[in-house]
Chain A
Amino acid sequence: MYSLMFRQFLRTKTCIIGLSLLLVLGTISLLIGKQFLTEQQEVAHQVVEKQADHIARNVEYHSDDLGLLLYYLEFALINDPSPLAGLSIGQRDINPSVQSVTIRTLEAQKYDTDLLNPVKLLYGNLDLSFILIYVLPLLIIAFTYNLLSEEEESGTWRMIRVMTRSKIKFLLAKLSVRFVLLFTVVLTLFILAVGLLDIPVGQPLLAFFSVAILYMVFWFALSFWIISLQRNSNFNALTLLSIWLTLMILVPAALNNYLTVNHPIPEALTATIQQRDGYHEKWDTNKEETLEAFYTAYPQYKKYGYPTEDGFNWLWYYAMQHLGDVESHEQSVAMRDKILKREHISELWSRFVPTMHAQLALNRLAGTGLINHIHFLQETSDFHERTRLYFYPQIFDQAGAEAVNWASFKPEHMTTVTEINWWSTLGSLVIGALVFTGLAFVQSRSVL
């Protein structure tokens, strides 16, 4: 009977259209993911290649003046994407994956965006996470909304009631047919993905796959519950689609509005003016005070003393530049804290909304969420300071370019190691699925 159910379902138009849609869109999404990863690699590759040229060219021009040379030189830090980023692009298309910074004021450099097409960002990426989160539930709804009602409406239900011993088993068998089919297609897509995007088989991939499957289970459970209410097909279709709409669009959008409205970040704008003023105003103020402030931050350079008030020198220049960062520091930290607060609230709420949870969890596993970018910004600050502190004494000693081993200045990489907290990744999906399955069983027992 089980195989009969399979064959019966496989022959329906809904099944054929649905599964082919999933396969086609899934494959497109993998190609898009592939393109995204290739672009990222291309960017990283160009950066590595050009940095050597860029340094060599400038060293040639300004070999006698290290201060001037470092005015021009840019050093790159690359945020290497995990191959999983191809499956869930997240915020990676908005936030840049390379920071090329000079040793001047960092605040003026670190928020520089990439070249972006805002319309493309608005429509969003057609990546695998979109297929899993948006499209898969729609197929589940389309495949299951009339499981019982159809039999009733076509008059076959009575026959089945006579013929099967347990109606709930009959229903579960029908559901499992659909589950197995969808599971197979999703598994196929993941196998394709592993081959196409060179994803290492390991814990992150397993966690990613588990989120996808448990999310699917959640929707089956929800659908199971609605079916077990034994209303007509129209009611089921409308109710399920309304739930889809609420979970997929209304609730996340409403929460995002809430975050934007209640946690605005004007500090970003203030910081950007302050860093400019913090540096530029020093051109017109007392040089000794500037150096004093610089030495407060870095007492190890006190030995370079206080050059005369007249004329230009690099010690004073880089002290001015650094004060741009110092004077905007407070606002910059406030900005970061607000961003983290937004992330924290999103996380908190997503525990109760499976769609949001799935998206944020997939982004986290793929290292494409907001946290990853904040982490990258922090790494950029550290990298910037390391680079600065390496060059400061050499500039202040008025060394020439030959004193530096330029070949060692290759772009640095940041790789994200995802620590997987299985409970927080999967817990809320498991609970959601259990709750609705439980409800469905209680309901079924009383009516079927």
Chain B
Amino acid sequence: MRKEIILLISRQFLARLFKSRAVYPLLGIMLILLIYAAISGVSYHDHNHFREDHQEMARDSWEGNPDKHPHRMAHFGTFAFRLKHPLSMFDFGIESYTGNAVFLEAHKQNMVNFSEASFSTGLLRFGELSMAMILQTILPLIIFFMGYSAVVADRENGTLRILLTQGASWKDILFGRSFGLLIGALLFCLPFFLVAAILLVSEEHVSAEIWMRLMLTMFIYLLFVVVLCFITIAISVSSRSSKDALVKLLGLWLLMIVLLPRTAQAVGSYLYPTPTKLEFKSAIEEEVIKNGDSHNPDDPHFSALKDSVLKANHVNTVEELPFNYGGFVMAEGERLSAEVYSKHQQQLMDTYRKQNSFSRVLALANPYLAVKNLSMALSGSDFESYVDFQNQAEEYRYLMAQKMNELQMKYIGASVSSSEGKVNVVGREEWRNFPDFEHEQLSLGSVLSAEVFSLVSILFWMVLAIWMILSLSKKAKAI
């Protein structure tokens, strides 16, 4: 394998590619798509303004509350609005299907509502045009188109034999053509990287970690492109005619990108049914009642608790306690029910993970899926990022409820049972003292450790593709 020959062969491939002219309209179309996707990405991300404004609006009304009984405040509650990750401009991932606003109040875990999908017409299901989507679905097609005849056409018109007799080895030819194709593919791909970087530069508060994420994303797409180029050349060399190569590659594209992913996900979902909402809620309710129901005056757990509290404080009735017993009971009830809820919620998320495992394991056979998963995860628009938001919102809800219970225990008289009216209240400064909800994105480390499978898969494909070319270069025939 000689460098000069490989470069020569790849240069010759590129010369032929650009002489054919078909490549120019394609470049034009890709640029138009890129611009459209970039504008969409920026505008999608701009929806964050709505959410920030509403977070502020919700906060203002929280702080605007007058002196109040803390339990009223616990039910007044607040909202968590989900903010998009800056890189979701690049890859929308599951953004449109995830909820965006959740009401946080005491004793009740509400659903995260108002997903974009719930406002969308049937068109959403055709997909969305993001920069990542174009690189994942359209770019492979373009690479296949540019490269399907790369070797087989030379065989058809006899130039392959001339090349070989002139001293080029099969290895030189295959790697040369692959390299040429790669340069051609990069011409399509680099504008996307450039635009993504420019968009990120124009964003405020972009941390070094976000840049790391973008770099990694680009690197993964680069690997994807290299793998695709090798596959194209491998199929080109092993096909009888250029038509044959084209049909094989188009079939591969359909299988890899349209049919397999949807089928795998459908099979996963079919095999792992999830509980209905009613079942989910009643299972939690039953378990809460079993463990201790703070709303039931005869509950054994809470009767025992009452006895031990009275005994520990050396008093006979709850009115003699140095704190508000109602607040204490609610704190205990909140703790118990939050525990049960989070157990069931984890189970549900694990079932979802199982449903999704089919399309994840399939990444081993399908590099498209590996790239899709990695790209979503790095762009903060994947399943785990969403689960993380839900967990943080629930954590905040729990802290808020417990803070209100604590205030009730501390400041509300031991004999008070009603929360109505302007007596038995806590000063409004307490509301301001409790910080607002803020969502922290997952760290890069945890993102990568969740995506080990996809990482391994794309590297595996890289090795496999090189091996394919090497082994074909031993078997290939010139005629």
Contact = CB atoms under 8 A, between A and B. Distances in A.
A259 B117 CA distance: 12
A311 interface: yes
B277 A356 contact: no
A342 B120 contact: yes
A117 B266 contact: no
Interface of B: 33, 36-37, 39-40, 43-44, 47, 50-51, 53-54, 57-58, 61, 65-66, 68, 72, 75-77, 79, 81, 93-94, 96-101, 103, 110-129, 133, 137-138, 141, 145, 242-243, 246-247, 250, 254, 258-259, 261-263, 265-266, 268-270, 273-280, 282, 348, 352, 355-356, 359, 383, 386, 418, 420-422
Nearest to B112: A113
Nearest to A285: B66
B356 A117 contact: yes
Interface in A129-164: 130, 134-135, 138, 146, 153
B124 A256 contact: yes
25 contacts: A42-B276, A43-B276, A47-B278, A111-B113, A115-B280, A116-B97, A120-B268, A125-B266, A126-B262, A138-B258, A234-B242, A237-B243, A237-B246, A253-B128, A257-B128, A260-B40, A264-B50, A268-B101, A269-B50, A269-B51, A269-B101, A272-B114, A273-B61, A284-B422, A342-B121
Contact of A261 (B43, B243, B261, B266): B43
B262 A256 contact: no
Best-buried of B57, B76, B123, B129 by chain A (most CB within 10 Å): B123
Q: Is the interface of A mostly helix, strand, loop or mixed?
A: helix
Contacts of B97: 94, 116, 118, 121-122
A339 B119 CA distance: 6
A80 interface: no
Contacts of A138: 254, 258
Interface of A: 25, 28, 31-32, 35, 39, 42-43, 46-47, 50, 90-91, 94-96, 98, 100, 108, 111-126, 130, 134-135, 138, 146, 153, 233-234, 237-238, 241, 245, 248-250, 252-257, 259-261, 264-266, 268-270, 272-273, 276-277, 280-281, 283-284, 310-312, 338-339, 342-343, 346, 350, 355-356, 359-360, 363, 369-370
A224 B316 CA distance: 92
Contacts of B47: 264
A34 to B, nearest CB: 10
Contacts of A130: 262
Given A266-B50, A270-B57, 18 more contacts: A32-B270, A39-B273, A50-B282, A118-B97, A126-B262, A126-B266, A233-B243, A245-B138, A252-B127, A254-B36, A254-B129, A257-B129, A260-B128, A269-B100, A276-B61, A342-B120, A356-B123, A360-B121
A113 B113 contact: yes
A98 B127 CA distance: 27
A370 B121 contact: yes
7 residue pairs, one from A and one from B, having the closest CB atoms:
A252-B126, A123-B265, A126-B266, A118-B97, A266-B50, A261-B43, A346-B121
Given A257-B36, A359-B126, A283 B276 contact: no
